[in-house]
Amino acid sequence: MPETMDELGPVDWLVVEFPGPDFGKGQIAPFLEDLVNRELVRVLDMVFLRKTMDGTLETAEISDLDPSELGAVRMAEADLAMVLSEQDVMDLAETIEPGHSAAVLVWENQWAAPFGAAVRKAGGQLVASGRIPTQAVIAAFQADADAEAGAQLAEGMKEGA
């Protein structure tokens, strides 16, 4: 953990769902490990969920899972802060479809910690924050490209008339 709480970067969380009982078949763990090794993020909590077809929830911590399911993610186990409460996990589990599995990840954005510390030392505080879903950004870029293509087509028709 940071030496002082003033050095803590922004903290985010996400739930990633996978079809079936596997947690991404070990394909995601190397990317998370790379982010941790480069000190861009610090994993604060990680919980794995499986929902059976009848809706029964099974929860697991890193130590409960087979190493083949996690790949290199096991390295984070010693440093976890366990920020999620049991109620948090139950609430997040509502988002998972029956027959699917999910990983819940809470991380500190270490790359932003110096900026956050500078803001706090200057007397500032975070008053709003948000995230734009990747799908929405892709759709906006596509809409802009479509509009530009339409404008070029209209201009070409105008010049040809």
Q: Do 41 and 101 share a domain, yes or no?
A: yes
**115 compared with 157, residue with greater pLDDT:** 115
Q: Is the pLDDT of residue 80 over 70?
A: no
Q: Do 149 and 89 share a domain, yes or no?
A: no
Domain that residue 11 falls in: 5-124
Among 45, 44, 37, CA closest to 9: 44
Q: Do 17 and 71 share a domain, yes or no?
A: yes
If one counts the domains in the chain, the total is 2
Q: Do 111 and 135 share a domain, yes or no?
A: no
Q: Do 72 and 100 share a domain, yes or no?
A: yes
Q: 49 - beta bridge partners?
A: 59, 102
Q: Do 12 and 33 share a domain, yes or no?
A: yes
What's residue 143's pLDDT?
Answer: 93
Q: Do 72 and 15 share a domain, yes or no?
A: yes
Q: How confident is the model at residue 73 (pLDDT cuts 50, 70, 90)?
A: low
Q: Do 111 and 142 share a domain, yes or no?
A: no
Q: Do 16 and 84 share a domain, yes or no?
A: yes
Q: Do 135 and 91 share a domain, yes or no?
A: no
Which residues are CB-neighbours of 45 under 8 A, at least 6 positions away? 80, 81, 82, 83, 84, 104, 105, 106
Residue pLDDT, tens place only, 7-28: 788 888 899 899 987 766 667 7
What's residue 67's pLDDT?
Answer: 62
Residue pLDDT, tens place only, 27-69: 777 888 888 889 898 888 888 899 999 999 988 777 676 666 5
What's residue 122's pLDDT?
Answer: 94
Q: Do 34 and 85 share a domain, yes or no?
A: yes
Residue pLDDT, tens place only, 114-149: 998 899 899 998 888 888 888 899 999 999 999 988
Q: Do 117 and 141 share a domain, yes or no?
A: no
